[in-house]
Amino acid sequence: MKPSLTGSEAPPMDTLSTSRIITGAAAREVVARSLAQSARAIGASLGPLGRGLMYDGGSGGPRHANGGLAIARQVTQESGAWSVAPRLLRDALWDVQRDLGDGTARTACIAVAAHAVAAARVAQGVPPVLLGDAIRRIAGTLPAMLDAQRCPAPDALAIARAACGDEEVARAVAHISASLSEAGAVDVSEGWRPGVRFEQFDGYCLDVKPDAIGAGSAEQGMRLEMDTVHVLVVNEVLSDFGPLVRVLEQFVSRSKSLVVVARGIEGAARATLVANRAGLRMHVLGLVPADAGLHAMSVLEDLCAVTGATLVSEETGVSIAGVRPAMLGRVARLVVDGARALFIDPAGTEQDITARRALILAEADAQRHVSLDRERLLRRAARLGLGWGELRVGGHTAWETGQRMDGARAALAAVRAARQQGVVAGGGQALNALADALPHALRDEFPDMALPVRRAALDAVTSGCRVVAAQIARNAGVEVASLSIPDDVVDPLSTTLAIVRRAFSVAATLLTIEVLIC
Protein backbone atom coordinates (compact mmCIF):
# COMPACT_ATOMS: atom_id res chain seq x y z
CA MET A 1 0.00 0.00 0.00
CA LYS A 2 1.28 3.49 -0.84
CA PRO A 3 1.53 6.04 1.93
CA SER A 4 -1.14 8.70 1.69
CA LEU A 5 0.28 12.06 0.64
CA THR A 6 -0.68 15.61 1.43
CA GLY A 7 1.04 18.50 -0.29
CA SER A 8 3.69 17.80 -2.93
CA GLU A 9 3.89 14.27 -4.35
CA ALA A 10 6.58 11.85 -3.22
CA PRO A 11 7.50 8.36 -4.45
CA PRO A 12 6.17 5.40 -2.47
CA MET A 13 8.49 4.07 0.26
CA ASP A 14 8.09 0.45 1.30
CA THR A 15 9.40 1.14 4.78
CA LEU A 16 6.69 3.77 5.31
CA SER A 17 3.85 1.80 3.78
CA THR A 18 1.46 2.60 6.63
CA SER A 19 2.59 6.19 7.15
CA ARG A 20 1.05 9.46 6.14
CA ILE A 21 3.39 12.11 4.73
CA ILE A 22 2.59 15.81 4.95
CA THR A 23 4.80 18.19 3.00
CA GLY A 24 5.14 21.79 1.89
CA ALA A 25 2.55 24.36 2.88
CA ALA A 26 0.39 21.75 4.60
CA ALA A 27 3.27 20.70 6.86
CA ARG A 28 4.10 24.30 7.72
CA GLU A 29 0.47 24.95 8.62
CA VAL A 30 0.38 21.95 10.98
CA VAL A 31 3.59 23.14 12.65
CA ALA A 32 2.33 26.71 13.06
CA ARG A 33 -1.10 25.72 14.37
CA SER A 34 0.23 23.12 16.80
CA LEU A 35 2.77 25.60 18.17
CA ALA A 36 0.10 28.28 18.54
CA GLN A 37 -1.97 25.86 20.59
CA SER A 38 0.97 25.18 22.93
CA ALA A 39 1.82 28.87 23.22
CA ARG A 40 -1.78 29.73 24.10
CA ALA A 41 -1.62 27.47 27.15
CA ILE A 42 1.95 28.34 28.16
CA GLY A 43 1.55 32.09 27.69
CA ALA A 44 -1.24 32.20 30.27
CA SER A 45 1.35 31.55 32.99
CA LEU A 46 3.38 34.72 32.31
CA GLY A 47 3.42 37.56 34.79
CA PRO A 48 2.21 37.99 38.38
CA LEU A 49 -1.38 37.64 37.20
CA GLY A 50 -0.60 34.58 35.10
CA ARG A 51 -2.77 31.53 35.36
CA GLY A 52 -2.05 27.83 35.51
CA LEU A 53 -3.49 24.83 33.76
CA MET A 54 -5.75 22.23 35.37
CA TYR A 55 -5.73 18.77 33.87
CA ASP A 56 -7.22 15.37 34.55
CA GLY A 57 -4.85 13.39 36.76
CA GLY A 58 -6.85 10.18 36.49
CA SER A 59 -7.58 8.45 39.78
CA GLY A 60 -5.52 11.12 41.55
CA GLY A 61 -8.07 13.78 40.62
CA PRO A 62 -7.46 17.15 38.93
CA ARG A 63 -3.86 18.32 38.80
CA HIS A 64 -2.35 21.76 38.36
CA ALA A 65 0.56 22.92 36.21
CA ASN A 66 2.02 26.40 35.91
CA GLY A 67 5.24 27.39 34.23
CA GLY A 68 6.25 26.78 30.65
CA LEU A 69 7.75 23.31 30.95
CA ALA A 70 5.07 21.87 33.25
CA ILE A 71 2.30 23.08 30.93
CA ALA A 72 4.13 21.94 27.79
CA ARG A 73 4.34 18.44 29.23
CA GLN A 74 0.56 18.31 29.61
CA VAL A 75 -0.52 19.84 26.28
CA THR A 76 1.99 18.01 24.08
CA GLN A 77 0.81 14.87 22.35
CA GLU A 78 3.25 11.98 22.06
CA SER A 79 2.53 10.91 18.50
CA GLY A 80 1.14 12.17 15.21
CA ALA A 81 1.95 15.11 12.96
CA TRP A 82 0.54 17.61 15.45
CA SER A 83 3.01 16.42 18.11
CA VAL A 84 6.28 17.01 16.22
CA ALA A 85 6.79 20.75 16.71
CA PRO A 86 5.37 20.86 20.29
CA ARG A 87 7.68 18.01 21.27
CA LEU A 88 10.69 19.88 19.89
CA LEU A 89 9.59 22.93 21.85
CA ARG A 90 9.04 20.91 25.03
CA ASP A 91 12.53 19.38 24.81
CA ALA A 92 14.03 22.85 24.37
CA LEU A 93 12.13 24.06 27.44
CA TRP A 94 13.48 21.12 29.43
CA ASP A 95 17.01 22.28 28.61
CA VAL A 96 16.13 25.83 29.70
CA GLN A 97 14.67 24.65 33.01
CA ARG A 98 17.68 22.44 33.66
CA ASP A 99 20.27 25.09 32.93
CA LEU A 100 18.55 28.31 34.07
CA GLY A 101 15.96 27.22 36.61
CA ASP A 102 13.53 29.76 35.16
CA GLY A 103 12.35 31.34 31.89
CA THR A 104 10.57 28.45 30.16
CA ALA A 105 7.34 30.40 29.51
CA ARG A 106 9.22 33.37 28.04
CA THR A 107 11.31 31.07 25.87
CA ALA A 108 8.22 29.35 24.48
CA CYS A 109 6.35 32.59 23.76
CA ILE A 110 9.32 34.24 22.03
CA ALA A 111 10.09 31.17 19.93
CA VAL A 112 6.50 30.65 18.78
CA ALA A 113 5.89 34.36 18.03
CA ALA A 114 9.09 34.61 15.96
CA HIS A 115 8.27 31.38 14.13
CA ALA A 116 4.73 32.52 13.30
CA VAL A 117 5.97 35.68 11.57
CA ALA A 118 8.79 33.83 9.81
CA ALA A 119 6.46 31.07 8.61
CA ALA A 120 4.14 33.68 7.09
CA ARG A 121 7.10 35.14 5.17
CA VAL A 122 8.08 31.66 3.96
CA ALA A 123 4.55 31.25 2.61
CA GLN A 124 5.16 34.46 0.64
CA GLY A 125 8.27 32.99 -0.97
CA VAL A 126 11.19 33.70 1.36
CA PRO A 127 13.53 30.64 1.47
CA PRO A 128 13.18 29.01 4.92
CA VAL A 129 16.84 28.00 5.31
CA LEU A 130 18.10 31.49 4.45
CA LEU A 131 15.52 33.02 6.74
CA GLY A 132 16.48 30.72 9.62
CA ASP A 133 20.15 31.66 9.22
CA ALA A 134 19.21 35.35 9.10
CA ILE A 135 17.21 35.06 12.34
CA ARG A 136 20.20 33.50 14.07
CA ARG A 137 22.55 36.22 12.78
CA ILE A 138 20.28 39.05 13.91
CA ALA A 139 19.71 37.33 17.27
CA GLY A 140 23.49 37.22 17.64
CA THR A 141 23.51 41.02 17.92
CA LEU A 142 21.09 41.06 20.85
CA PRO A 143 23.51 40.21 23.71
CA ALA A 144 25.54 43.40 23.23
CA MET A 145 22.34 45.45 23.01
CA LEU A 146 20.94 43.84 26.15
CA ASP A 147 24.18 44.35 28.02
CA ALA A 148 23.85 48.08 27.33
CA GLN A 149 20.46 48.03 29.11
CA ARG A 150 21.79 47.03 32.53
CA CYS A 151 19.99 48.85 35.30
CA PRO A 152 20.58 49.19 39.05
CA ALA A 153 19.63 45.99 40.83
CA PRO A 154 17.02 46.20 43.59
CA ASP A 155 17.43 44.17 46.75
CA ALA A 156 17.19 40.39 46.76
CA LEU A 157 13.60 40.51 48.04
CA ALA A 158 12.39 42.40 44.98
CA ILE A 159 14.23 40.05 42.62
CA ALA A 160 12.83 36.97 44.35
CA ARG A 161 9.33 38.46 44.45
CA ALA A 162 9.43 39.15 40.70
CA ALA A 163 10.56 35.58 40.03
CA CYS A 164 7.96 33.72 42.08
CA GLY A 165 5.13 36.11 43.01
CA ASP A 166 4.92 34.55 46.49
CA GLU A 167 5.73 36.99 49.29
CA GLU A 168 6.52 34.37 51.92
CA VAL A 169 8.79 32.39 49.60
CA ALA A 170 10.44 35.60 48.36
CA ARG A 171 11.26 36.70 51.90
CA ALA A 172 12.79 33.31 52.69
CA VAL A 173 14.92 33.45 49.54
CA ALA A 174 16.07 36.99 50.37
CA HIS A 175 17.10 35.80 53.82
CA ILE A 176 19.01 32.90 52.27
CA SER A 177 20.79 35.28 49.92
CA ALA A 178 21.96 37.36 52.86
CA SER A 179 23.00 34.47 55.08
CA LEU A 180 24.66 32.10 52.60
CA SER A 181 27.60 32.98 50.40
CA GLU A 182 26.28 30.72 47.64
CA ALA A 183 22.53 30.64 47.01
CA GLY A 184 22.95 27.40 45.08
CA ALA A 185 23.84 25.55 48.29
CA VAL A 186 20.19 25.14 49.18
CA ASP A 187 18.00 22.07 49.05
CA VAL A 188 14.36 22.86 48.25
CA SER A 189 12.12 20.13 49.63
CA GLU A 190 8.48 19.53 50.43
CA GLY A 191 7.39 20.77 53.83
CA TRP A 192 5.37 18.76 56.30
CA ARG A 193 2.77 21.52 56.68
CA PRO A 194 1.80 24.78 54.95
CA GLY A 195 4.39 27.51 55.18
CA VAL A 196 8.05 28.16 54.42
CA ARG A 197 10.84 27.17 56.78
CA PHE A 198 14.57 27.55 56.31
CA GLU A 199 17.23 25.78 58.33
CA GLN A 200 20.88 26.66 57.88
CA PHE A 201 23.78 24.34 58.60
CA ASP A 202 27.52 24.77 58.94
CA GLY A 203 29.93 22.06 57.91
CA TYR A 204 29.55 19.06 55.65
CA CYS A 205 26.26 17.17 55.69
CA LEU A 206 26.03 13.43 55.09
CA ASP A 207 22.66 11.73 54.73
CA VAL A 208 22.80 8.58 56.87
CA LYS A 209 20.56 5.74 57.89
CA PRO A 210 18.75 6.77 61.08
CA ASP A 211 20.08 3.80 63.07
CA ALA A 212 23.27 5.19 64.67
CA ILE A 213 25.34 2.09 65.42
CA GLY A 214 26.60 1.97 68.98
CA ALA A 215 23.93 4.28 70.34
CA GLY A 216 21.76 2.66 72.96
CA SER A 217 18.02 2.21 72.61
CA ALA A 218 17.44 5.32 74.69
CA GLU A 219 19.72 7.35 72.41
CA GLN A 220 18.17 6.29 69.10
CA GLY A 221 16.33 9.14 67.45
CA MET A 222 17.93 11.70 69.75
CA ARG A 223 20.44 14.37 68.75
CA LEU A 224 23.95 13.02 69.34
CA GLU A 225 26.99 15.28 69.65
CA MET A 226 30.71 14.51 69.84
CA ASP A 227 33.66 16.91 70.03
CA THR A 228 37.16 16.57 68.51
CA VAL A 229 36.23 13.53 66.45
CA HIS A 230 38.49 11.25 64.42
CA VAL A 231 36.84 9.85 61.29
CA LEU A 232 37.44 6.42 59.76
CA VAL A 233 35.91 6.05 56.27
CA VAL A 234 35.48 2.53 54.90
CA ASN A 235 34.09 1.59 51.49
CA GLU A 236 33.17 -1.88 52.71
CA VAL A 237 30.57 -3.69 54.77
CA LEU A 238 32.30 -4.30 58.09
CA SER A 239 31.40 -7.55 59.82
CA ASP A 240 34.50 -7.81 62.04
CA PHE A 241 37.03 -5.16 63.01
CA GLY A 242 39.83 -7.73 63.27
CA PRO A 243 43.20 -5.92 63.09
CA LEU A 244 41.40 -2.61 63.61
CA VAL A 245 40.83 -3.48 67.26
CA ARG A 246 44.29 -2.18 68.16
CA VAL A 247 43.33 1.23 66.75
CA LEU A 248 40.14 1.20 68.82
CA GLU A 249 42.17 0.36 71.93
CA GLN A 250 44.20 3.52 71.45
CA PHE A 251 40.99 5.58 71.54
CA VAL A 252 39.91 3.83 74.75
CA SER A 253 43.22 4.56 76.47
CA ARG A 254 43.34 8.19 75.37
CA SER A 255 39.61 8.99 75.75
CA LYS A 256 39.34 10.17 72.16
CA SER A 257 36.22 10.21 69.98
CA LEU A 258 35.91 8.08 66.86
CA VAL A 259 33.19 7.74 64.22
CA VAL A 260 33.32 4.89 61.72
CA VAL A 261 31.51 5.63 58.45
CA ALA A 262 31.11 2.51 56.33
CA ARG A 263 28.78 1.12 53.67
CA GLY A 264 27.54 -1.33 56.28
CA ILE A 265 28.34 -2.37 59.86
CA GLU A 266 27.03 -5.72 61.01
CA GLY A 267 27.75 -8.81 63.11
CA ALA A 268 30.77 -8.66 65.40
CA ALA A 269 31.69 -5.15 64.22
CA ARG A 270 28.30 -3.81 65.29
CA ALA A 271 28.51 -5.65 68.61
CA THR A 272 31.98 -4.19 69.25
CA LEU A 273 30.76 -0.63 68.77
CA VAL A 274 27.74 -1.22 71.03
CA ALA A 275 29.88 -2.81 73.75
CA ASN A 276 32.55 -0.13 73.67
CA ARG A 277 30.07 2.73 73.79
CA ALA A 278 27.71 1.27 76.37
CA GLY A 279 30.12 -0.78 78.50
CA LEU A 280 33.29 1.27 78.39
CA ARG A 281 31.64 4.66 77.88
CA MET A 282 33.85 5.04 74.85
CA HIS A 283 33.09 7.91 72.48
CA VAL A 284 32.55 5.78 69.36
CA LEU A 285 29.76 5.68 66.82
CA GLY A 286 29.07 3.92 63.54
CA LEU A 287 27.26 5.58 60.61
CA VAL A 288 26.05 4.13 57.32
CA PRO A 289 25.36 6.42 54.32
CA ALA A 290 21.77 6.55 53.14
CA ASP A 291 23.00 6.09 49.55
CA ALA A 292 23.80 2.67 48.13
CA GLY A 293 26.07 1.24 45.44
CA LEU A 294 28.27 3.64 43.50
CA HIS A 295 26.47 6.62 45.04
CA ALA A 296 27.60 5.47 48.51
CA MET A 297 31.21 5.24 47.38
CA SER A 298 30.98 8.74 45.89
CA VAL A 299 29.75 10.37 49.10
CA LEU A 300 32.40 8.49 51.09
CA GLU A 301 35.04 9.96 48.80
CA ASP A 302 33.49 13.40 49.38
CA LEU A 303 33.73 12.83 53.15
CA CYS A 304 37.40 11.91 52.80
CA ALA A 305 38.13 15.14 50.92
CA VAL A 306 36.35 17.16 53.61
CA THR A 307 37.88 15.49 56.69
CA GLY A 308 41.32 14.58 55.34
CA ALA A 309 40.70 10.84 55.81
CA THR A 310 42.14 8.08 53.64
CA LEU A 311 39.46 5.88 52.08
CA VAL A 312 39.72 2.25 53.13
CA SER A 313 38.74 0.37 50.01
CA GLU A 314 39.89 -2.27 47.58
CA GLU A 315 39.90 0.41 44.87
CA THR A 316 42.47 2.49 46.78
CA GLY A 317 44.52 -0.52 47.89
CA VAL A 318 44.04 0.29 51.58
CA SER A 319 42.70 -2.55 53.73
CA ILE A 320 41.45 -2.61 57.30
CA ALA A 321 44.66 -4.38 58.30
CA GLY A 322 46.68 -1.46 56.96
CA VAL A 323 44.83 1.32 58.78
CA ARG A 324 47.03 3.66 60.80
CA PRO A 325 45.99 6.61 62.98
CA ALA A 326 47.39 9.03 60.38
CA MET A 327 44.77 7.77 57.91
CA LEU A 328 41.91 9.03 60.04
CA GLY A 329 40.17 12.29 59.24
CA ARG A 330 39.25 14.90 61.82
CA VAL A 331 36.42 17.27 62.60
CA ALA A 332 36.00 19.68 65.47
CA ARG A 333 32.44 18.51 66.10
CA LEU A 334 29.99 15.88 64.91
CA VAL A 335 26.22 16.27 65.23
CA VAL A 336 23.93 13.38 64.31
CA ASP A 337 20.28 14.33 64.13
CA GLY A 338 18.01 11.64 62.69
CA ALA A 339 19.02 10.91 59.11
CA ARG A 340 21.56 13.74 58.93
CA ALA A 341 25.15 13.85 60.17
CA LEU A 342 26.95 17.21 60.26
CA PHE A 343 30.75 17.27 60.23
CA ILE A 344 31.55 20.74 61.59
CA ASP A 345 34.90 22.46 61.05
CA PRO A 346 36.51 19.52 59.21
CA ALA A 347 40.28 19.25 58.73
CA GLY A 348 40.38 18.68 54.98
CA THR A 349 42.48 21.14 52.98
CA GLU A 350 40.83 23.83 50.88
CA GLN A 351 42.79 22.56 47.89
CA ASP A 352 41.39 19.02 48.18
CA ILE A 353 37.83 20.24 48.72
CA THR A 354 38.01 22.65 45.78
CA ALA A 355 39.42 19.94 43.50
CA ARG A 356 36.67 17.55 44.57
CA ARG A 357 33.97 20.14 43.89
CA ALA A 358 35.40 20.89 40.46
CA LEU A 359 35.36 17.18 39.61
CA ILE A 360 31.73 16.83 40.68
CA LEU A 361 30.62 19.95 38.79
CA ALA A 362 32.33 18.68 35.62
CA GLU A 363 30.49 15.39 36.01
CA ALA A 364 27.21 17.27 36.53
CA ASP A 365 27.79 19.13 33.28
CA ALA A 366 28.40 15.82 31.50
CA GLN A 367 25.13 14.49 32.97
CA ARG A 368 23.09 17.58 32.01
CA HIS A 369 20.60 15.46 30.05
CA VAL A 370 19.88 13.18 33.04
CA SER A 371 17.94 15.39 35.43
CA LEU A 372 18.00 13.18 38.54
CA ASP A 373 21.73 12.40 38.33
CA ARG A 374 22.58 16.04 37.69
CA GLU A 375 20.56 17.24 40.69
CA ARG A 376 22.25 14.66 42.90
CA LEU A 377 25.69 15.81 41.74
CA LEU A 378 24.89 19.50 42.22
CA ARG A 379 23.64 18.78 45.73
CA ARG A 380 26.91 17.02 46.56
CA ALA A 381 28.95 19.91 45.17
CA ALA A 382 26.90 22.41 47.19
CA ARG A 383 27.42 20.49 50.41
CA LEU A 384 31.15 20.50 49.85
CA GLY A 385 30.89 24.28 50.17
CA LEU A 386 30.58 23.66 53.94
CA GLY A 387 27.70 26.08 54.27
CA TRP A 388 24.24 25.17 53.07
CA GLY A 389 20.60 25.16 54.00
CA GLU A 390 17.31 23.39 53.49
CA LEU A 391 14.21 25.31 52.42
CA ARG A 392 11.05 23.40 53.21
CA VAL A 393 8.00 24.66 51.33
CA GLY A 394 4.45 23.51 51.88
CA GLY A 395 0.97 24.41 50.70
CA HIS A 396 -2.60 23.50 51.58
CA THR A 397 -2.87 21.15 48.60
CA ALA A 398 -0.43 19.00 46.66
CA TRP A 399 -0.54 21.24 43.60
CA GLU A 400 -0.05 24.38 45.71
CA THR A 401 2.98 22.77 47.32
CA GLY A 402 4.43 21.92 43.92
CA GLN A 403 3.74 25.44 42.66
CA ARG A 404 5.48 27.03 45.65
CA MET A 405 8.47 24.71 45.35
CA ASP A 406 8.86 25.63 41.66
CA GLY A 407 8.61 29.29 42.64
CA ALA A 408 11.28 28.88 45.30
CA ARG A 409 13.68 27.28 42.83
CA ALA A 410 13.01 30.03 40.27
CA ALA A 411 13.57 32.74 42.89
CA LEU A 412 16.83 31.18 44.06
CA ALA A 413 18.03 30.93 40.46
CA ALA A 414 17.04 34.55 39.76
CA VAL A 415 18.82 35.94 42.82
CA ARG A 416 21.96 33.96 42.04
CA ALA A 417 21.97 35.03 38.37
CA ALA A 418 21.32 38.68 39.26
CA ARG A 419 24.19 38.64 41.71
CA GLN A 420 26.57 37.26 39.10
CA GLN A 421 25.85 39.42 36.03
CA GLY A 422 23.37 42.13 36.94
CA VAL A 423 19.81 42.83 35.80
CA VAL A 424 17.69 44.49 33.13
CA ALA A 425 14.16 45.90 33.34
CA GLY A 426 11.64 43.09 33.79
CA GLY A 427 8.14 42.42 32.57
CA GLY A 428 9.29 42.38 28.94
CA GLN A 429 10.44 46.01 29.09
CA ALA A 430 14.06 45.26 28.14
CA LEU A 431 12.89 43.11 25.23
CA ASN A 432 10.51 45.85 24.06
CA ALA A 433 13.42 48.28 24.08
CA LEU A 434 15.34 45.81 21.91
CA ALA A 435 12.48 45.68 19.44
CA ASP A 436 12.41 49.49 19.26
CA ALA A 437 16.16 49.75 18.73
CA LEU A 438 16.71 46.87 16.27
CA PRO A 439 15.67 48.58 12.99
CA HIS A 440 18.00 51.52 13.64
CA ALA A 441 20.86 49.48 15.09
CA LEU A 442 20.89 47.09 12.13
CA ARG A 443 20.37 49.65 9.38
CA ASP A 444 23.91 49.14 8.04
CA GLU A 445 24.46 45.59 9.25
CA PHE A 446 24.56 42.44 7.11
CA PRO A 447 24.97 44.04 3.65
CA ASP A 448 25.45 40.55 2.21
CA MET A 449 21.91 39.54 3.21
CA ALA A 450 19.15 39.76 0.58
CA LEU A 451 16.73 42.56 1.47
CA PRO A 452 13.53 40.43 1.60
CA VAL A 453 15.28 37.89 3.85
CA ARG A 454 16.67 40.63 6.06
CA ARG A 455 13.28 42.31 6.44
CA ALA A 456 11.54 39.01 7.21
CA ALA A 457 14.16 38.06 9.82
CA LEU A 458 13.99 41.48 11.44
CA ASP A 459 10.18 41.27 11.64
CA ALA A 460 10.41 37.81 13.21
CA VAL A 461 12.96 38.84 15.84
CA THR A 462 11.07 42.06 16.62
CA SER A 463 7.82 40.16 17.03
CA GLY A 464 9.51 37.68 19.37
CA CYS A 465 10.91 40.48 21.52
CA ARG A 466 7.52 42.20 21.87
CA VAL A 467 5.48 39.14 22.76
CA VAL A 468 6.46 38.90 26.44
CA ALA A 469 5.07 42.31 27.42
CA ALA A 470 2.06 41.74 25.15
CA GLN A 471 1.25 38.42 26.83
CA ILE A 472 1.66 39.84 30.32
CA ALA A 473 -0.70 42.68 29.39
CA ARG A 474 -3.19 40.18 27.97
CA ASN A 475 -3.08 38.15 31.17
CA ALA A 476 -3.65 41.35 33.17
CA GLY A 477 -6.59 42.33 30.94
CA VAL A 478 -5.08 45.62 29.74
CA GLU A 479 -3.54 47.03 26.59
CA VAL A 480 0.24 46.94 26.26
CA ALA A 481 0.36 50.74 26.34
CA SER A 482 -1.46 50.69 29.67
CA LEU A 483 0.75 48.01 31.24
CA SER A 484 2.55 49.43 34.27
CA ILE A 485 5.60 47.52 35.50
CA PRO A 486 7.09 48.64 38.86
CA ASP A 487 10.71 49.78 38.74
CA ASP A 488 11.84 47.02 41.08
CA VAL A 489 10.59 44.27 38.74
CA VAL A 490 13.76 43.13 36.99
CA ASP A 491 15.10 40.10 35.15
CA PRO A 492 18.62 38.72 35.54
CA LEU A 493 20.70 39.74 32.52
CA SER A 494 22.30 36.32 32.09
CA THR A 495 18.91 34.58 32.15
CA THR A 496 17.44 37.03 29.63
CA LEU A 497 20.44 36.58 27.30
CA ALA A 498 20.11 32.81 27.44
CA ILE A 499 16.36 32.97 26.84
CA VAL A 500 16.55 35.08 23.68
CA ARG A 501 19.46 33.08 22.30
CA ARG A 502 17.67 29.77 22.76
CA ALA A 503 14.24 31.01 21.72
CA PHE A 504 15.37 32.36 18.36
CA SER A 505 17.47 29.26 17.75
CA VAL A 506 14.36 27.12 18.33
CA ALA A 507 12.31 29.33 16.00
CA ALA A 508 14.91 29.02 13.24
CA THR A 509 15.07 25.25 13.67
CA LEU A 510 11.28 24.86 13.56
CA LEU A 511 11.25 26.92 10.37
CA THR A 512 13.13 24.17 8.52
CA ILE A 513 10.39 21.57 9.04
CA GLU A 514 9.05 20.89 5.55
CA VAL A 515 7.99 17.23 5.86
CA LEU A 516 5.98 15.48 8.57
CA ILE A 517 5.62 11.70 8.69
CA CYS A 518 2.93 10.25 10.87
Same domain, 296 and 230: yes
Q: Is residue 355 part of a domain?
A: no
Same domain, 417 and 433: no
Same domain, 396 and 462: no
Amino acid at 265: I
Q: Is residue 449 part of a domain?
A: yes
Determine the pLDDT at residue 218. 62
Sequence-distant (≥ 6) Cβ neighbours of residue 113 within 8 angstroms? 39, 463, 464, 466, 467
Q: Is residue 374 part of a domain?
A: no
Determine the pLDDT at residue 19. 66
Based on the structure, what is the number of domains in the chain?
Answer: 3
Q: Is residue 69 part of a domain?
A: yes
Q: Is residue 368 part of a domain?
A: no
- How far is CA 277 from each of CA 43, 157, 219, 518, rounded to the nearest angstrom? 62, 49, 11, 69
Determine the pLDDT at residue 13. 44
Contact 208, 287 (CB under 8 A): yes
**CATH number for the domain including 256?**
3.50.7.10
Same domain, 190 and 322: no
Burial grade of 99 (CB within 10 A; 0-12, 13-18, 19 or more): middle
Same domain, 39 and 161: no
d(CA 318, CA 310): 8
Determine the pLDDT at residue 252. 57
Q: Is residue 187 part of a domain?
A: yes
Average pLDDT per 10 consecutive residues for the chain, totaling 518 residues: 42 52 86 90 78 65 74 84 88 86 90 95 92 93 91 91 88 86 68 87 84 70 83 88 70 74 87 71 80 87 93 83 84 87 89 90 74 74 78 86 86 87 90 92 82 93 95 88 85 92 94 82
Same domain, 329 and 238: yes
Same domain, 8 and 142: yes
d(CA 87, CA 78): 8
Determine the pLDDT at residue 240. 80
**CATH number for the domain including 446?**
1.10.560.10
**CATH number for the domain including 403?**
3.30.260.10
d(CA 38, CA 109): 9
Q: Is residue 372 part of a domain?
A: no
Same domain, 31 and 139: yes
Determine the pLDDT at residue 311. 92
Nearest to 343 by CA among 378, 309, 377: 309
d(CA 165, CA 162): 6
Determine the pLDDT at residue 59. 63
Determine the pLDDT at residue 131. 94
Q: Which residues are 515's β-sheet partners?
A: 23
Same domain, 439 and 408: no
Domain boundary among 348, 378, 398: 348
d(CA 192, CA 401): 10
Same domain, 10 and 139: yes
Same domain, 415 and 326: no
Q: Is residue 359 part of a domain?
A: no
Determine the pLDDT at residue 329. 92
CA 215 to chain centre: 38
Contact 485, 63 (CB under 8 A): no
* CA 290-295-301 angle, 5° bins: 95
Determine the pLDDT at residue 370. 57
Determine the pLDDT at residue 305. 94
Same domain, 121 and 25: yes
DSSP state of 234: E
Whole-model pTM? Answer: 0.72
Range of the domain at 236: 206-348
Domain boundary among 294, 315, 348: 348
d(CA 54, CA 34): 20
